Amino acid sequence: MANANGKATAKLEEADAMSAEEMEAVNLAADWADISTGLRKDLGHQLHSQWIKPIQLGGFCKQTGTLDLYLPSEFYANWVQDRFADRLSLAWKIARSEVRTVRIQVHPGRRKLQDLDLNDGRRAANDGADTSMIAVSAGTMGDAGFTSSVGLDPTLTFAAFVTGEANILACNAAQRMAATEQPQFSPLYIKGATGQGKTHLLHAIGHAYLNAHPRARIFYCSAERFMVEFVQALKSGKTLEFKARLRGFDLLLVDDIQFIIGKASAQEELLYTIDALLAEGKRLVFAADRAPQALDGVEPRLLSRLSMGLVADIQAADIELRRKVLESKLTRFAPLSVPEDVIDFLARTITRNIRELVGGLNKLVAYAQLTGQEVSLSLAEEQLTDILSANRRRITIDEIQRTVCQFYRIDRSEMSSKRRARAVVRPRQVAMYLSKVLTPRSYPEIGRKFGGRDHSTVIHAVRLIEDLRQRDADMDGDVRSLLRQLES
C-alpha cells in the first residue's frame, strides 16, 4: 500500500512538473505571438511571411538566459541572423527581462537541404549544402512541383532595383538577358564594387527568366561554392554526374567569379561548361568586383570566354541615386516618418556602397521603432557613428573652389575677389552652396574662405542656389555634375 501511495505521489509530482513546463511553453508562445505581430507591422507582410513566420520556438534555458529560435534551413538561419538578429534580441529582452541571448539556428530535426539531379529527376543528398549553390527549377517533381523561388531572394527583383546613371547599362543588359527572346550577347559579365547591386541583378534575372520560362532550369551559385562542389565531386568520384547536372541548365548565374582565381581544375571545368552551354544557346551571367582582364591567375582561355559577350559596369552610386534608393525604401516603414533632412544626410555621408546605405537606414528606423523615438538628424548621427566615420571622406573648401573654377573656367582668385560680374558671382555662390552642403563648416568659416565675406552673404548664396535648383534646370544640372565630381 505504501508503495502504491509512493507511485501515486510520484505521478502527481510528474504531472505538476509537466504542467509547469507546459505553462512555460504557453507563455513563450504568447510572447512570441506579440513579438511576431509587432515585427509584421514594422517589416510589412511580405518580409514577415518570408523570414519571420518560418521561425519556430526552441527551448529557453533559465540558467544561461539563452532562447533558441529555429529555422528550416541554413539559408534561412543565416539570412535572419544577418538581418534581424539585433531586432529579435532586443524584442525578446523587452518582452522577457531574463532573456540574455537569442540563438538563431537550423532546426535540429530538419534534414539538410538536398540538391536536385535534373537529369533523372531524383533527389540526391547534399551534405552541408547551402544556398550559395542552388538548383532552381519548376515542374520537375511531378504534380507537387519544385518551388521555383528556392535560392532566389524574393525581394531582389527588377521592380525593386533602383536605377540611375551609374547602373542603367547593367540593369538594361540584365533585363535583356532574362527576356523571352534570345539575347544578342552571352555571357553577360556584370562588374561592380561590393554592395553596388551585382547580386541583386543576378537574383532579378533568375526571377524574370522563370516568369518568362516557367519550366526553366536555373543554376545559381557563387564561384567559391562552385569550386567546393567540384572538389567534393572529384573526391567522391562523381565528376561525371557533376558535369552532366551543370550542363542540363538553361540559365547559369555565377556570383563573385573573382574567387575562382588560381584553381586550375575548377577553371577548366567552368571553361568546358561555358562552351557546352553556349553551344546549345543557353544563357550565362557572371558577376565580379573587377573586369575580366583584371582577374589575375585566370587561364587565358577562360578570360576570353568571360569577356566575349557584354561587360556591363556598375559605377559607384552618385548622390541622386543614393537618395532615390533611400526614398524607395520609405514605404516599408509607414506610418513611421523619416524626415527629408535625414534622407539627405544619409545620402551625402554614406557613400561607399548601396548595401551599407540601406543598412544604415534600416538600423536607424529599427532603433527608433523599438525605443519609441522619432527619427531625427541627431538620432542618425548618434546611432550610425561607425558607418558614418567609415564613409566620411573629407572634402575641403579649397577642393570645392578648385573644382568649381575648373568647371566654369574662371581663375581661382575670383573666389576671393570683390568683382560683381555675373560670370564670377554665380560660380562663387555655387561654391559657397557646395561648401555648406559637403563640409561641416559654419557660415562664418565659409565666409572667411571666400575673401573674408560676412556670414549673411554665404546664407544668401546658399538660399539663392537652392531656389535656382528648383526653377532652373541648367543650374540644377551644373550642381549635380559638380557633386558627382567632388564625391567620386
Q: Cα–Cα distance between 34 and 402 in angstroms, integer?
A: 57
- C-alpha cell of residue 182: 534570345
The distance of Cα 441 from the centroid of its chain, to the nearest Å, equals: 33
- C-alpha cell of residue 409: 573656367
pLDDT at 18 over 90: no
Query: Mind listing the pLDDT tens digit for each residue in 239-297?
Result: 888 888 888 888 999 998 887 766 677 788 888 888 988 888 899 999 998 899 888 77
Provide the mean pLDDT of the chain. Answer: 80
User: Residues with Cβ < 8 Å from 161, sequence gap 6 or more?
Assistant: 167, 171, 197, 200, 201, 204
Q: Name the residue type at position 295.
A: L
pLDDT of 262 reads 63
pLDDT of 146 reads 29
Q: Cα–Cα distance between 330 and 428 in angstroms, integer?
A: 36
pLDDT of 21 reads 65
Instruction: Name the fold adopted by 397-487.
Output: Chromosomal Replication Initiator Protein Dnaa; Chain: A; (1.10.1750)
Query: Mind listing the pLDDT tens digit for each residue in 89-126?
Result: 878 887 787 888 899 988 776 533 333 333 333 333 23
pLDDT at 204 over 90: yes
**Are 55 and 69 contacting, i.e. CB atoms less than 8 angstroms apart?**
yes
The domain covering 114-314 belongs, at the CATH homologous superfamily level, to: P-loop containing nucleotide triphosphate hydrolases (3.40.50.300)
pLDDT of 216 reads 86
Q: Cα–Cα distance between 380 and 367 in angstroms, integer?
A: 10
pLDDT of 426 reads 94
Q: Cα–Cα distance between 92 and 99 in angstroms, integer?
A: 7
Instruction: Name the fold adopted by 319-391.
Output: Helicase, Ruva Protein; domain 3 (1.10.8)
Q: Name the residue type at position 107.
A: H
Q: What pairs with residue 56 in β-bridges?
A: 70
Of the ranges 6-15, 18-27, 79-88, 422-431, which is most confident? 422-431
Environment class of residue 228 by beta-carbon count within 10 Å: exposed (0-12), middle (13-18) or buried (19+)? middle
pLDDT at 370 over 80: yes
Burial 296-321 (b: 16+ CB within 10 A, else e): eebbeebbebbbebbbbebbbbbbeb
Which CATH architecture is the domain 2-106 placed in? 2-Layer Sandwich (3.30)
What secondary structure does DSSP assign to 102-170, as a single string? EEEEE-TTSPPPEEEETTTTEEEE-TT--TTEEEE-SS-STTS---TTTTS-TT-SSTT----TTTHHH
pLDDT at 341 over 80: yes
Question: How does residue 46 score in pLDDT terms, banded at 50, 70 and 90?
Answer: low
pLDDT at 150 over 70: no
pLDDT at 230 over 50: yes
Query: Mind listing the pLDDT tens digit for each residue in 376-413?
Result: 888 888 888 777 766 666 788 999 999 999 999 999 99
Q: Name the residue type at position 373.
A: Q
Q: Cα–Cα distance between 464 and 374 in angstroms, integer?
A: 31
pLDDT at 154 over 90: no
pLDDT of 439 reads 82
- For the chain, domain boundaries: 2-106, 114-314, 319-391, 397-487
Query: Mind listing the pLDDT tens digit for each residue in 357-367?
Result: 988 898 888 88
pLDDT of 413 reads 92
Q: Name the residue type at position 359.
A: G
